[in-house]
Chains A and B, each alone.
Chain A
Amino acid sequence: MTENRFFNRSEFIGILLLAVFLVVVLPLTLDVFRLNLVAKYLTYAFVALGLVICWGYGGILSLGQGVFFGLGGYCMAMFLKLEASSVENTKIQSTPGIPDFMDWNQITALPLFWKPFHSLTFTIAAIILVPGIFALIIGTAMFKRRVGGTYFAIITQAVAAILTILIVGQQGYTGGINGMTDLRTLKGWDIRPDHAKIVLYFFEVGCLFACIMIAQFVRHSKLGRILVAMREKEDRVRFSGYSVANFKIFAFCIAAVFAAIGGAMFALNVGFMSPSFVGIVPSIEMVIYTAVGGRLSILGAIYGTLLVNFAKTSLSETFPELWLFGLGGLFIAVVLAFPNGLAGIWSDYVQPRIDRLISSRKPKPEGWTDSSVADGAPAE
């Protein structure tokens, strides 16, 4: 248990605590409505998790994670929408059997790229592959030419802007600004009632832990060390004979796939998908979650996501005026004072005290576990 490929002891305890928190504490204490809110927040945690690998470890800041979140979400939503618009459900339309927004936009036949989404297997494959291949193309084009840092951030941002404008503009094919609403069933199983919400919540938490395990594996493998080395001194890694571009592409792709899974979960849990989760503003907000939680900490990113979203919901309910000031101030404070976020505060101030407490009781601790987040200074 102490040292294996996935985690050391303190990380294991951390993951266990998170599991207890998400699987036992939250479902027991919250009503279904609030639990569904948590499920919505956790969909962003997938994105934050990907950003830890890509940004925290790889040093690649992507401001276009909303693109992949959106692609995953739209793939899922297209499947659900097709199922919701069966011929008997859409009898009143002038063309039954196609989604309602197509009918409103005078489209009379299902467009070709919609057809494969009748199949759930294809949809699940598409959720992973479409964003993955898209990230592969962008990553290859950019990293092979050694474009990185700020330029990459700006270009991913432009991609986010393009996709949003495209989705909003092509109303007949995508549902436009309203997105795809009124999603009902998954293979005949109604996703709207309370018990379905609870099942979906646990399913999502399961997926999240699977992703955490993958992230942990990447982190503790040789690959993770190369990523960190690359972030710190890219040229040295290149001169040591590693293909820096390929590692960057991998990190970017894995972040994209995580984000896409999050998007698909969003469509399932929340019951709709719209371009307001694709553009620049949500993409940057997702970066904030990671920054607040700690860009170097896998668990920190998840707590950060939950915390910022809880704050957002409660603050914007009570003081809508103050919320943007709070969010902006939080950004500036995190960047200026706590570049390693909550996890940094934890490992700098809380962890040493706990360690001291334990070591004062037990004179000789069994083995110093390296602090879970202190993997070096933040990128650039």
Chain B
Amino acid sequence: MFGDYSLGDLGSIFVMQGFAGLILFSVYVLMALGLAIIFGQMGVINMAHGEFMILGAYVTWMTSNFFQNYLPSLFSGYFFLAMILAFVASGALGMLVEWVLIRHLYKRPLDTLLATWGLSLMLQQAYRSVFGAREVGVELPQWMLGSLHVTDSIEVPINGVFVMCLTVLITIAVAYVMYKSRWGRQVRAVVQNRIMAGAVGINTEKVDRYTFGLGCGIAGVAGSAFTMIGSTGPTSGQLYIVDTFLVVVFGGAASLIGTIASAFSISQTQSTLEFFMSGSMAKVLTLLAVVGILMLRPQGLFALKVRK
């Protein structure tokens, strides 16, 4: 298998393949962050998470079209506004959904799964009716096209680097909000003991709503970043939802570090295997390994020790 390549070529291939894995890793992390907050912290299985992500992607697409048509001079910077809009749109929809649907179901986690699946079907159909069944792609600004030449044989696409930087920034922001801010402390207090948190004066309903909104908002940003590297269709979100749940479960729900570590290991395994075999077999083997490890260690990689 390696006979045809020189050692240097082989090194470059592994670096580039690793880089492809890093882009996949970014998408996983961005999606899993929101899910880790919603599933890990609140225990709600949000099957519509992928659709919240796609909402962010469509918002980005609309913003880019708007800038192209009306403000072409500012086109190079549209992405930053689009990201904020995506966060707001998905977050607002998330809060609405929490108010209408989720808050009635906190005691029945399996039923949230069914209800949010229903929601995801409706959202998919809504996207199909509004934006059409065809996938849409976003026009990238000039500075994001092309690639960086690291060495003669290694080159990395700029949009990939950009998405990765974005992932790092968002992760730091989420970690700060969850672990350092007053609001994050309230969220964790509600998760650990809802009744006591209420007793000390935390408005648990409000915290729930904003937590769900934040998780969905991050999904929106993930969708926004997703447009940089792929095209968006009404059912694109569904493709990622199972992988993302596995990432969260594999990392050990409620653990931010675990989520990142598992996203990293899953994406790197998959993209490395993709070099040796067909994409579908790589995916099968990766998922099988994850399920196998979960059978041996159901609590995930980084489990918090919690007294039940």
Contacts and interface: CB of A to CB of B under 8 A. Distances in A.
B291 A336 contact: no
B27 to A, nearest CB: 17
Nearest to B246: A158
Given A147-B298, A378-B108, A287 B114 contact: yes
Interface in A104-144: 141-142
Interface string B114-157: 11011111101110110000000000000000000000000000
A255 B196 CA distance: 41
B7 interface: no
A157 B117 CA distance: 13
Interface in B243-301: 245-246, 249, 278, 280-281, 283-284, 287-288, 290-291, 294-295, 298
A63 B120 CA distance: 16
B43 interface: yes
B45 A154 contact: yes
Nearest to B278: A169
Interface stretch (A199-207, A263-271, A325-333): A325-333
Nearest to A61: B110
A61 B117 CA distance: 14
A379 interface: yes
Nearest to A166: B284
Contacts of A379: 110
Contacts of B125: 321, 324-325, 328
A149 interface: yes
B242 A157 contact: yes
A162 B291 contact: yes
A288 B113 CA distance: 11
Contacts of A149: 109-110
B205 interface: no
A76 interface: no
B245 A154 contact: yes
Given A61-B110, A155-B294, A336-B101, A161 B280 contact: no
Nearest to B115: A335
Contacts of B110: 61, 149-150, 153, 379-380
Interface string A319-348: 001001101111110111001000000000
A151 interface: yes
B119 A169 contact: no
A211 interface: no
A291 interface: yes
Interface string A143-173: 0011101110111011101100110110000
Given A150-B43, A321-B125, A336-B101, A61 B113 contact: yes
Contacts of B291: 155, 158-159, 162
A231 to B, nearest CB: 11
A328 B126 CA distance: 11
B238 to A, nearest CB: 8
Contacts of A153: 45, 110, 113
* Among A151, A155, A335: residue with most chain B CB under 10 A: A335
Contacts, number: 117
B115 A332 contact: yes
Given A150-B113, A162-B288, A327 B121 contact: yes
A158 B290 contact: yes
B105 A165 contact: no
B109 A165 contact: no
A335 B105 contact: yes
Contacts of A328: 117-122, 125
Nearest to A148: B298
B104 interface: yes
A284 interface: yes
* Among A141, A158, A330, A380: residue with most chain B CB under 10 A: A158
A291 B114 contact: yes
A330 B249 contact: no
B9 interface: no
A280 B101 contact: no
A249 to B, nearest CB: 14
Contact of A161 (B109, B249, B287): B287
A34 to B, nearest CB: 26
A123 B291 CA distance: 28
Contacts of B108: 339, 378, 380
* Among B104, B125, B126: residue with most chain A CB under 10 A: B125
B101 A332 contact: yes
A335 B242 contact: no
Contacts of B283: 165
Contacts of A287: 114
A245 B43 CA distance: 23
A25 to B, nearest CB: 31
B280 A168 contact: yes
B295 A141 contact: yes
A328 B111 CA distance: 14
Nearest to B288: A162
Nearest to B111: A335
* Among B121, B281, B283: residue with most chain A CB under 10 A: B121
Contacts of B117: 284, 328, 331
B120 to A, nearest CB: 7
Interface of A: 61, 63, 141-142, 145-147, 149-151, 153-155, 157-159, 161-162, 165-166, 168-169, 280-281, 284, 287-288, 291, 321, 324-325, 327-332, 334-336, 339, 378-380
29 contacts: A142-B298, A145-B295, A149-B110, A150-B45, A151-B249, A153-B45, A154-B242, A154-B246, A154-B249, A155-B249, A157-B245, A158-B245, A158-B287, A158-B290, A158-B291, A159-B291, A161-B287, A165-B284, A284-B114, A284-B117, A287-B114, A324-B122, A327-B118, A328-B117, A332-B101, A334-B114, A335-B114, A339-B111, A380-B109
Given A63-B113, A158-B245, A169-B278, 14 more contacts: A142-B298, A150-B45, A157-B245, A166-B280, A288-B114, A291-B114, A327-B121, A331-B114, A332-B115, A332-B118, A334-B114, A336-B115, A339-B111, A380-B111
Interface of B: 39, 43, 45, 101, 104-105, 107-111, 113-115, 117-122, 124-126, 128-129, 238, 242, 245-246, 249, 278, 280-281, 283-284, 287-288, 290-291, 294-295, 298
